[in-house]
Amino acid sequence: MEHLLTKLELGFEEMVSIRRYLHANPELSFQEVHTPAYIANYHRELGLEVREGVGGRGVVATLRGAKPGKTVALRADFDALAIQELNDLPYKSKVDGVMHACGHDGHTATLLVLAKVLTEMKEEIEGNIVFIHQFAEELAPGGAKPMIEDGCLDGVDVIFGTHLWAPTPLGEVWVRQGPIMAAADRFEITINGVGGHGAEPHNSVDAILIASHFVTQLQSIVSRRINPLKSAVISVGHFEASNPFNVIAGKVELKGTVRTFDEDIRTQIEKEIELLLKSVCEGAHATYDYTFFRGYPPVVNHPEETKFLAEVAGQINEVEQVIECDPLMIGEDFAYYLEKVPGTFYITGAKDPSWETAYPHHHPQFNFDERAMLIAAKTLGLATLEYLKESK
């Protein structure tokens, strides 16, 4: 196993080089062309079995060890976000309005160099390793589900994945048995009133006033309708009425998100939003349109595999702490993989110790400590080899 760790250290410069190249050349979800081709070519040069166009734009590479055994899958995503980068970096995005603002460039670089090192150790490997490179994690319905439907998990016994996390200090690895990330749903609402002159409100049905009452009361769903021992978040992020200053709005559009861990709570909130919306609108003589879009389900880690990963992470010199973390309200379509096979998804701390604060994910100045990639590669690689060895 020391052989693996030493090889990864020697490959760190290449990891950084790949990450910076991908960072400078980002591609949006469902629009990835160059990135999957780059990934496929890299694996093909290693001599691995490569499938392109998996589920649409995904890439799957398979390393078959010299000895028989089980099959481990490792996953990295590679899409970017519609954000204009504000970092002043020599490798800043060359594409206007598109940026790797979530670390997927680092995930991809980590997995590619790990694949190279494991391929060099092929004669020692007891079993198979599947490298899943996923498109479109950032935009539901995402790439995981169609890739699974196209067979990326066929024959897989276990799957491991990590997210480089800029707010978490370098050297920390966060794990959690059970739900670690939330279901991520969204809703869209149109409130239809009657527009009119601002001087004659009695001849109008003010959609802005109605929408304001609704948004204010919306938080009572979590505080008064949901069991306080259950977690839930409802946030309205879009409130729009395109009207002149002196005209009472006849229509308001609202968009928001719901985050939950429990399927019953998820369903309850979907119904409670419409019940509240209906009562507010009927009382004000307005009508509404309401659509609830179910996004990714919660990421639910399997206990045995999570415990195993935590023990492996504790063996890495650069890992200072392995922490059982609280659930995170962010969403991730890694959830779909864990619905099909056992495995775990964990957090690799990526905040540079010299930073007072770290810009959050999806921020135009997002960045991470690249040394986190080496920690991620060591943890994933060691977990893979240990699992195959113990499962023979």
Give catalytic residue positions: 79, 137
Q: Is residue 302 annotated as involved in ligand binding? A: no
102 in a labelled binding site:
yes
Name the 3-class secondary structure at 26.
coil
Distance from C-alpha of 322 to C-alpha of 347, rounded to nearest angstrom: 10
Sign of CA dihedral 283, 286, 289, 292: negative
Between strands 172-175 and 321-324, the pairing is parallel
Residue 174, strand partner residues:
323, 347
Write the CB contacts of 124 (distance below 8 Å, at least 6 apart in sequence): 3, 65, 66
What DSSP string runs through 38-89? HHHHHHHHTT-EEEEEETTTEEEEEEE-SEEEEEEEEEEE--BBS-------
Whose CA is closest to 4, among 317, 342, 311?
317
362 is in an annotated binding site: yes
From the DSSP assignment, how many helices (H) and strands (E) are in the chain? 10, 16
Q: 304 by DSSP, 3-state: which?
A: helix
Residue 378 to residue 4: CA distance in whole angstroms:
8
Main-chain phi, psi angles of 186, to 5 degrees = -140, 160
Locate tokens 């307005």: which residue? 286
β-pair partners for 300: 179
Inter-residue contact 165 to 56 (CB < 8 Å): no
Q: Which residues are annotated as a binding site for Mn(2+)?
A: 102, 104, 138, 163, 362
